[in-house]
Amino acid sequence: MTERHSFVLCDIAVVDGTGGPVREHAFLEVLGARIARIGDMADYAPRDGVEEVRLPGHYVMPGLVDAHVHLSGGRAEVDDQEIGVVAEPMGLKAMRSVYEAQQLLKRGFTTVRDISWNGFYLKRLFVEQQIPGPKVVACGPGLTRTGGHGDLFQFTPDYVAEHGVWGIVADGPEEVRKAVRRNLREGADAIKIWVSGGDNWPHDRIEDVHYSMEELRACVEEAHRQKGTIVAAHAENREAIEMAIDAGCDTIEHGEEIDEALAKKMVERGTILVPTLELIINWYRDFIPLGDEPRAPVRPEAFLYRDLYQERTEEFGEAYSAASEASFRTALAAGVKIALGSDTVYEPLTKYGEYSAREFRALVQYGMTVPQAVHAATAVSSEAVGMSHALGTLEAGKLADLLVLRADPTSSADVVYDAAHHARVYCDGKLTVRDGEFVW
C-alpha cells in the first residue's frame, strides 16, 4: 500500500470541473488527502518536504463520478438475469462486486453511487484502504413494490427477500418508511425508489406508475429526516417523473419523457437528471433487439395476457430511442442539471468501467459540448451523489481525487473515454492507478 504524502504536480494544465477555461502552466499541491493550493507556475515556490512531480503536457481534472451503478456481482445476459444474478450465493456476488468497483476506478471513476446490498459493505471495505477502490456512495437496495421493478417474479417472495441484490420490497407508507430506515441503519448515503416500471420483465412496463404519491412522500420525508440523504427516483414516464419532482426527490433516473413544462419545474426545484443515455437510447438496439427475427424468450412470457399479442417492431424501438434523445435535449436546453450515470448492472451485458466511459461519450453524442460533459461527470455528479462539499472540483480544501491525462479532456470526448490517454489516478492524495494498473 502506498502511503499518503505531500507532493506538487508541476508544469500541468488544470481542468477544475467548474466548466471554466483550462488553466495552462499551472501547479497543484496536495498535502495529505487534500488539495492545498493551485496556482500558476510563474508564482510557484517549492516548500520543504513537498515532493515535486513534473508532468509537462499533462492535464489534471477531478476524478470522474458515476452516479448510477449496480455493483451486483452477477454474471448474465438479459434473458437469464434472474438465474445469472439472483440464484447465485450472496457471498459470491459480494466478492465479485469488489472487482466491479475496481474496474470503475481503473477508468478514472473515483466515486460511484451504487444501488445494491453490496454497496453498504464495499464503502466500508475501501475506506479501510487495505485494497484500492473508489468511494462507494451507497443506496443499498432500491425500494420496490410487490411485483415492481426490483421484485423478481420468477422466484418466491421469500427467496427474493433473501437473494435479491437490487431491491427491497415495501408496500404502503409505513413499509416504505421502515425500508428507508432499514437502509439508513446499514449506512445508506442515498435512497433509491422505483417510481415506475422498467421494461425488464413481462409485467414491469415503463408506462406504469408503481408507487402512490402518499408512498413516495413517505420515502422522501423519511430519507430527508436524516439530513444530507439524497433520494434517487427511477422514473421513466411523464406521470412518474412529475410525481417524483413534486414529492421532493433529488434526482430523476432515466427520465425519458421530460417535456418543457417538466424541465422548467426541475430547474426551479434544482432536481438533477441522471439520464443513463447509453443504456436507455440503445435499449431496443443492444439489449432487446427488434426486427425481422426478434429474440426468442427463454421462457414463455404469457404473464399479462392482454400484452401477449402486442408486437414491438423495429420502428417502435427507433421511436422510443428518438423520444428518449428528445427528452434529454429538452432538459439540456432548459438548463436542467445533468449528471453522468451509466446504469452498469452486470457483466457481460455492461462491462464495468467501459460502460461508464461510454456514458461520458454519449453525453456529447446526444447534445452536450465536451466541456459540459466534463462538468456533468465531475461537479454535477458530485452534487447528485451528495458529495459536492468534498469532491467534484479542483479547489483548495477538496479531497485530492485526481485524474491525470495525456491530452486535453475538454477537446474531445475520446480523451476521457479512451484509457490510453489516462496516465494516473489519485484517490485521497494517494497515487492509486498508473497506466491502467494499480499502484498499491
pLDDT per residue over 283-332, tens digit each?
988 887 787 666 666 666 667 778 877 778 899 999 999 999 999 999 99
CA–CA gap between residue 431 and residue 435 (Å, rounded): 11
Assigned superfamily of 64-384: Metal-dependent hydrolases (3.20.20.140)
Q: Residue 25: pLDDT above 60?
A: yes
63-85: b or e for each residue (b if 16 or more CB lie within 10 Å)?
A: bbbbbbbbbbbbbbebeebbebb
Q: Residue 337: pLDDT above 70?
A: yes
Q: What is the pLDDT of residues 368-414, one digit of tens each?
A: 999 999 999 999 999 999 999 999 999 999 999 999 999 999 999 99
Q: Are 282 and 306 in contact (CB under 8 A)?
A: no
Q: What is the pLDDT of residues 344-375, one digit of tens each?
A: 999 999 999 999 999 999 999 999 999 999 99
Please tell me the predicted confidence (pLDDT) of residue 124.
97
Triad 417, 108, 321: Cα angle to 5°: 45
CA nearest to 251, candidates 115, 97, 110: 115
SS3 132: coil
The secondary structure of residue 399, as a DSSP letter, is B
Per-residue CA distances from 145 to 69, 82, 205, 339 (Å): 21, 18, 14, 27
- The pTM of this model reads 0.96
116-125: b or e for each residue (b if 16 or more CB lie within 10 Å)?
A: bbbbbbbbeb
DSSP 217-280: HHHHHHHHHSTT-EEEEEE-SHHHHHHHHHHT-SEEEE-TT--HHHHHHHHHHTPEEE--HHHH
Per-residue CA distances from 267 to 171, 270, 330, 331 (Å): 31, 5, 12, 9
Query: Longest Cα pair distance anywhere in the chain, in angstroms?
Result: 75
Q: How far is CA 263 from the centre of its chain?
A: 21
Q: Residue 82: pLDDT above 80?
A: no
Please tell me the predicted confidence (pLDDT) of residue 295.
63
Given pLDDT bands bounded at 50, 70 and 90, which one contains residue 440? confident
Grid cell in block for residue 196: 415506475
Beta bridge partners of 35: 30
- Which residue is it, cell 499551472? 26
The secondary structure of residue 296, as a DSSP letter, is P
Per-residue CA distances from 132 to 123, 193, 247, 253, 302 (Å): 11, 30, 38, 28, 46
Grid cell in block for residue 267: 430547474
Q: Residue 1: pLDDT above 50?
A: no
Residue 127 burial (CB count, 10 A): 12
Please give the CATH number for the structural domain made up of 7-62+393-438.
2.30.40.10
Task: Give the number of residues written for the chain.
Answer: 440
Residue 348, preceding bond cis, omega within 30 degrees?
yes
Domain assignments of the chain as residue spans, ordered by start = 7-62+393-438, 64-384
Beta bridge partners of 149: none
Q: What is the pLDDT of residues 155-204, one digit of tens each?
A: 889 998 898 899 999 999 999 999 999 999 999 999 999 999 998 776 78
Please tell me the predicted confidence (pLDDT) of residue 323.
96
Angle, helices 213-225 vs 238-247, to 10°: value is 40
Mean pLDDT of 221-232: 98
Q: What percent of the chain has pLDDT over 90?
A: 82
CA nearest to 387, candidates 189, 115, 101: 189
Q: Are 39 and 12 in contact (CB under 8 A)?
A: no
